[in-house]
A and B are shown apart, each in its own frame.
Chain A
Amino acid sequence: MSMTLPPKTPSGGRDPAAISGWAQHPDRVGFFTDTSICIGCKACEVACKEWNEVPDDGLNWLGQSYDHTGELGADTWRHVQFIEQRKRPGTADEGLDAPLIEHVPLAQLGREEGFRWLMSSDVCKHCTSAACLDVCPTGALFRTEFGTVVVQADICNGCGYCVPACPFGVIDQRRGDGRVWKCTLCYDRLKGGFEPACAQACPTNSIQFGPLDELKVRANRRVRQLHEQGFTDARLYGADPDDGVGGLGAFFLLMDEPEVYRLPPDPVVPTRDLPAMWGAAAKAATALAVATVAAFMAGRR
C-alpha cells in the first residue's frame, strides 16, 4: 500500500519490497536511462519484443522524426523517442523556439545554425508508489522481490482500472486479448541472474541496469560531468525519493524539460489523496442517508 511511503534506506533510497511482504529480498534494481548518449538505434525496442514475445504494434508512418512506434503501451514496453530541435548542443536556451524544422531541409542545417536531436528510450517507471498496483482489484499487479511492478497475466481480468491510474500513461489493455500489459523489467531474466534484454542490447550503455542506489551515484556523477562540459540543461528525472511517486525505479537523465519527452513534469500517485477522497464520500453518503429520513418526514405531513 502506498498511502504510506516505504521508509528510506541508509543510502537515501526507498525499499518498496520490504513493505510488500518480502522479508528477505535482493537489492532494489532498476534502470538508469542516460538519454545524452542514446543514438536512437532501437536495439532496446527489438530486444524487448524478442525476449518478451510482445506482439507487433503496427507498421506506421507517424511523422515523428524517426519514431514510428508512437508511445509506450500494451505492445510497446521500450520506446525510443526522437526530438528535433534547432539548438546548438551545449548551449543553454538559444534558438529553442525556432520555426518549423520542416521548412528547412535537414541537409542544409549547418552546425553553426544549430540543430540537435534528442533521443530517449522510454520505459515503465516501476514507481516506488505505483498507482497501477494500488488500484488493481484482483492482485494481478504485484511488487516483486526486486522492488519492480509486474502484471500476472493469469490473474488479470481486464478491468482496466490501472490504465487511467498510471500518471505516466504506460500500462494499457491489449486489443483482442483484454488483459493489460507492460514492462516486467524482465522478471524472468532477473530470476535467472541476467540483466533485462533492453539493457543488454544497448550498444552505448544509455540503458544501465543495476541496484538503484548504485545507479543514482553514477547518474549524479554523469550530470556533474555534463555540466562541466557545458551541457547545462542535463538533469535527472525521477531520482528524487521525495517526489509525488516516491521516486522511480527507472529514472532518466534528460537534456530538456520532462514534458518534451512525454513525461509529466510533476507526477503524483493518485492514491496519495485516497483518505481525503473517502472522507468526501463519507460526507456525501451521510447526506444521502439524512435525505432519506428527511423525505419520509416531509412526506408524512
Chain B
Amino acid sequence: MSTTEERSVAATNADGSERRRSAGRALVPDVEVRTYYDRSVLKRPTWKHWIAEYFFLGGLSAGSSLLAFGASRTGRRALARRSRLVALAAVGGGGAALVADLGRPERFANMLRVAKVTSPMSVGSWVLAAYGPATGVAAAADVLGVFPRLGAAAEGVAAALAPVVATYTAVLVADTSVPAWHGARGELPYLFAASAGASAGAAALALTPVAENGPARCWAVAGALGEVAASTIMERRLGELAEPYHTGRAGILSKAASACALAGAAVGLLRGRRRRGAIISGALVAAGSLLERFAVLEAGRQSAADPKYVVKPQRERLDATRPSESE
C-alpha cells in the first residue's frame, strides 16, 4: 500500500487518486492538497471586464481631479481644464461600466438604498455619488465660464474625495475570500493609488501643451515607477500566493503592464518635454495602468479557481495552531 513518501510526491484527491491536473498543466506543482475532485472551494468572481475598466477609469478620474486642483491653484489653466474634463469623462465612463456589470442594471439605484460601513462597495457608491456630480459642476463651471466660486468649491470637494475614489477599490477586492486579493490587502491600496496617479499623469501629459506639463510628467513617471514597485513588493510579500500573478493570463497581463509602465516612464523622462515624446509616454503609461488592473482581476480569478490556494494556507495555519488549541 502507499506510504508517506508516495504521499509527498503527488497531490491526492479525496479518494486517494492522483491529481490529473498536475500532470497536464504546470499550473499546480506537487503539493499535497486534498480536495473534492479538484473542485474549487470558492466561487469564481462573476465580475466581467467592466470592473477592471472601472478600476482604471475611477483611478484616472481621481488622479485627474487632484491634478486639476493643483493646476488651478498654480495658474496652469490649460492643464486644469484638461484634467477637469478628463476627470468628468472618466468618472462618467466608469459609472457606466459599473452599471453595465450589474446582473440587474435597471436596479443600479439600489446601491444607495442603504449605507453600510462593512461593505466597501456601499462606501464607494456613496463617495461616488458625491464625487461624480462634483467633477461635473467643476468642469461645467470652467467650460461655460459661469459660477466661478461654485466651480472652485466643487473642485475642492472632488479633490478631497479623489484619494478615497482612487484607493477604496483596493479595499473592495481585498475584502473577499479570494486568496490573491485578500492576501495582498496591505499592498493593493498602494498599487491602486500609484496606478491612479500614473494614468492621470499620463492623460494630462498626452493632452497638455509642453509649457504646462511639468506636474503631469512628474506624475506619469513617478506613478508608473510606483506601480511597478508596488506590484513587485506585493508579489514578494505574497510568497506562494503570488503564483496566480505570475502564471497564465494574469502573468502575461502583469508582465505587459510592467513593460508598458517602464517604457512609458523612460520616454517621459527622456522625451517628455517634447510634444511627440509626451504623447508616446502618456499612451504607454496609461496602457500600463489599464493592463495592471486587468492583471489583478485575472490573478484573483485564477486564485479562486484552484483549491490549492485556499486549502494549503488554511491547512498550514490549522496544523501550526492545533497543538496549542488556543486559536
Chain A residue numbers with a CB within 8 Å of B103 are 156-160, 173, 177-180
Question: Which interface class (under 10, 10 to 19, 20 to 34, 35 or more) fits A?
Answer: 35 or more
Q: Does B26 contact A (CB under 8 A)?
A: no
Chain B residue numbers with a CB within 8 Å of A167 are 42, 177
Most B Cβ at <10 Å: residue of A286, A292, A294: A292
Q: Does A161 contact B (CB under 8 A)?
A: yes
| Bound Cα distance from A79 to B176, whole angstroms | 24
| Interchain CB contact under 8 A, A137 and B39 | no
| Bound Cα distance from A134 to B172, whole angstroms | 12
| Bound Cα distance from A256 to B314, whole angstroms | 16
Task: With both chains docked as a complex, state the minimum distance between the C-beta of B172 and any C-beta of chain A, in angstroms.
Answer: 8
| Interchain CB contact under 8 A, B311 and A157 | no
Chain B residue numbers with a CB within 8 Å of A99 are 2, 16-17
**Residue of chain B at shortest CB distance from A294:** B218
| Interchain CB contact under 8 A, A178 and B189 | no
Q: Does B53 contact A (CB under 8 A)?
A: no
| Bound Cα distance from A168 to B102, whole angstroms | 23
Interface locus among A23-31, A80-88, A143-151, A200-208: A80-88
Q: How many A-B residue pairs have CB under 8 A?
A: 287
| Bound Cα distance from A300 to B73, whole angstroms | 12
Which of A97, A157, A169 is within 8 Å of B42, CB to CB? Answer: A169
| Interchain CB contact under 8 A, A289 and B163 | yes
| Interchain CB contact under 8 A, B70 and A288 | no
Chain A residue numbers with a CB within 8 Å of B214 are 298-299
Q: Does A107 contact B (CB under 8 A)?
A: no
- With A172-B43, A281-B167, A283-B189 given, is the CB distance from A137 to B315 under 8 Å? no
| Interchain CB contact under 8 A, B16 and A264 | no
| Interchain CB contact under 8 A, A138 and B111 | yes
- Which chain B residues numbered 17 to 57 have a C-beta less than 8 Å away from chain A? 17-18, 33-37, 39-47
**Residue of chain B at shortest CB distance from A158:** B103
Total chain B interface residues with beta-carbon distance under 8 A: 94
Chain B residue numbers with a CB within 8 Å of A70 are 39
Chain B residue numbers with a CB within 8 Å of A260 are 14, 34-36
Task: With both chains docked as a complex, state the minimum distance between the C-beta of B265 and any C-beta of chain A, in angstroms.
Answer: 14
Task: With both chains docked as a complex, state the minimum distance between the C-beta of B20 and any C-beta of chain A, in angstroms.
Answer: 10
Most B Cβ at <10 Å: residue of A73, A135, A156, A298: A135
- Which chain A residues numbered 85 to 106 have a C-beta less than 8 Å away from chain B? 85-86, 94-102
Q: Does A1 contact B (CB under 8 A)?
A: yes
- With A163-B46, A260-B14, A270-B176 given, is the CB distance from A178 to B41 under 8 Å? no
| Bound Cα distance from A47 to B164, whole angstroms | 47
Q: Does A267 contact B (CB under 8 A)?
A: yes
Task: With both chains docked as a complex, state the minimum distance between the C-beta of A273 and any C-beta of chain B, in angstroms.
Answer: 6
Q: Does A64 contact B (CB under 8 A)?
A: yes
Contact flags (1/0) for A115-156 with B, using CB distance below 8 Å?
000100000000000010011111110000000000000011
Interface locus among B135-143, B147-155, B178-186, B287-295: B178-186
| Interchain CB contact under 8 A, B318 and A265 | yes
Which of B14, B192, B307 is within 8 Å of A284, CB to CB? Answer: B192
Q: Does A109 contact B (CB under 8 A)?
A: no
| Bound Cα distance from A2 to B116, whole angstroms | 12
| Interchain CB contact under 8 A, A257 and B34 | yes
Q: Does B131 contact A (CB under 8 A)?
A: no
Q: Does A41 contact B (CB under 8 A)?
A: no
Q: Does A171 contact B (CB under 8 A)?
A: yes
Task: With both chains docked as a complex, state the minimum distance between the C-beta of B96 and any C-beta of chain A, in angstroms.
Answer: 15
Which of B70, B186, B314 is within 8 Å of A267, CB to CB? Answer: B314
Chain B residue numbers with a CB within 8 Å of A170 are 43
| Bound Cα distance from A81 to B66, whole angstroms | 54
Chain B residue numbers with a CB within 8 Å of A261 are 14, 36
**Residue of chain B at shortest CB distance from A136:** B119
Contact flags (1/0) for B100-140 with A, using CB distance below 8 Å?
01111101101101101111111001000000000000000
Which of B33, B69, B105, B116 is within 8 Å of A292, CB to CB? Answer: B69
Chain A residue numbers with a CB within 8 Å of B158 are none
| Bound Cα distance from A135 to B66, whole angstroms | 29
Task: With both chains docked as a complex, state the minimum distance between the C-beta of B267 and any C-beta of chain A, in angstroms.
Answer: 18
Chain B residue numbers with a CB within 8 Å of A100 are 16-18
Q: Does A263 contact B (CB under 8 A)?
A: yes
Q: Does A259 contact B (CB under 8 A)?
A: yes
Q: Does B324 contact A (CB under 8 A)?
A: no
Contact flags (1/0) for B150-172 with A, using CB distance below 8 Å?
00000000010011101110111
Question: Besides A169-B42, A261-B36, A287-B193, 4 other CB < 8 A contacts?
Answer: A84-B15, A291-B197, A295-B215, A298-B215
10 closest A-B pairs by beta carbon, nearest first, are A158-B103, A178-B103, A299-B214, A285-B163, A157-B107, A284-B189, A262-B36, A139-B114, A137-B122, A299-B215
Q: Could you list some 24 contacts between A and B, CB below 8 A?
A: A1-B117, A3-B118, A62-B37, A65-B15, A71-B36, A96-B16, A131-B177, A134-B116, A134-B118, A135-B120, A139-B116, A158-B104, A164-B44, A172-B46, A177-B103, A259-B307, A261-B36, A265-B318, A266-B317, A274-B171, A277-B120, A285-B166, A289-B66, A300-B74
